[in-house]
């Protein structure tokens, strides 16, 4: 039976592994559609407009927010980030899951939106603050000042863990990936995600009555 798509939200402090896990989930299920965010920050080396992000000006971003074209948005480290609403709605209606790699502010906005019935939110915790710092340094993307800002912000992110449907500690990447797959597989069978269930039950009832 046809089902509705899920809005799968992955959140964590920077360095806890959500982007790596998101990539693994997409490799596991090619039907997963990744929500491409819009941002006002400058592209990093190798990033492609429309694939990694939609790179827009601050004026363009604010206009889209004013017109109700953003499902969620937030300002992070002086730059705006947001999820365009149109592509998400189309995917959900077509029964395709959409994966979000966003912070707690974006997760909260989506969970309170008109699409809240289809939200599956998961928070990823690091095994320790020391390990979180090690991961930020080892990935080599940011200078020392940026890493320190991310570390200072990490507790604010972690403090919102209880606003999510599921929470897990990413102390082993393979085990965390396996748990994520189990959760998603189960949530896809949620009754609210299967709009044709009532029709099927009525057909079963009719068949049962024919036997009487």
User: pLDDT tens-digit profile of 80-123?
Assistant: 999 998 889 899 989 999 999 888 888 999 998 888 889 999 99
- pLDDT for the residue numbered 203: 95
At residue 212, does pLDDT exceed 80?
Answer: no
DSSP 8-state secondary structure symbol assigned to residue 120: E
At residue 76, does pLDDT exceed 90?
Answer: no
Determine the structural domain holding residue 114 and report its residue range.
7-33+97-211
- Indicate whether 63 belongs to any domain: no
Which range among 72-81, 139-148, 167-176 shows the weakest confidence by mean pLDDT?
A: 139-148
Q: Which runs of consecutive H residues, i.e. helices, occur in 103-196?
A: 104-111, 129-138, 144-158, 173-187
HEC string of 31-88 equals CCEECCCEECCCCCCCCCECCCEEECCHHHHHHHHHCCCEEEEEEECCEEEEEEHHHH
The answer to whether 27 touches 34, Cβ cutoff 8 Å, is no
The answer to whether 12 touches 126, Cβ cutoff 8 Å, is yes
- Indicate whether 150 belongs to any domain: yes
Exposed / middle / buried, residue 57 (Cβ in 10 Å: 0-12, 13-18, 19+): exposed
- Indicate whether 2 belongs to any domain: no
**Beta strand 70-76 pairing with 79-84:** antiparallel
- Indicate whether 200 belongs to any domain: yes
CATH number for the domain spanning 15: value is 3.40.50.300
- Indicate whether 66 belongs to any domain: no
User: pLDDT tens-digit profile of 39-58?
Assistant: 999 999 999 998 889 999 99
Could you give the number of structural domains in the chain? Answer: 1
Q: Which of 10, 143, 79, 19 is nearest to 151 (CA)?
A: 143
- pLDDT for the residue numbered 74: 86
- Indicate whether 52 belongs to any domain: no
- Indicate whether 81 belongs to any domain: no
* Nearest-angstrom CA–CA distance, 111 and 7: 9
The pTM of this model reads 0.81
User: pLDDT tens-digit profile of 146-199?
Assistant: 888 889 889 999 999 999 999 999 999 999 999 999 999 999 999 989 989 999
- pLDDT for the residue numbered 1: 60
């Amino acid at each position: 039976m046809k089902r509705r798509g899920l809005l799968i939200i992955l959140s964590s402090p920077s360095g806890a592994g959500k982007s790596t896990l998101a990539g693994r989930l997409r490799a596991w299920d090619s039907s997963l559609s990744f929500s491409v965010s819009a941002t006002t920050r400058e592209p990093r080396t190798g990033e492609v407009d429309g694939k990694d992000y939609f790179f827009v000006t601050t004026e363009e971003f604010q206009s889209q927010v004013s017109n109700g074209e953003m499902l969620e948005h937030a300002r992070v480290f002086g730059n705006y980030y947001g999820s365009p609403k149109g592509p998400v709605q189309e995917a959900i209606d077509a029964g395709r899951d959409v994966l979000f790699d966003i912070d707690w502010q974006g997760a909260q906005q989506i969970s309170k939106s008109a699409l809240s019935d289809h939200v599956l939110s998961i928070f990823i915790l690091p095994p320790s603050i020391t390990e979180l710092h090690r991961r930020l340094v080892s990935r080599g993307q940011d200078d020392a000042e940026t890493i320190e800002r991310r570390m200072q912000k990490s507790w604010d992110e972690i403090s919102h863990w209880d606003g999510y449907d599921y929470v897990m500690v990413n102390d082993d990447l393979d085990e965390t990936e396996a748990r994520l797959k189990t959760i998603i597989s189960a949530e896809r069978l949620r009754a609210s995600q299967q709009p044709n269930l009532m029709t099927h039950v009525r057909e079963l009832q009719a068949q049962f009555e024919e036997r009487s």
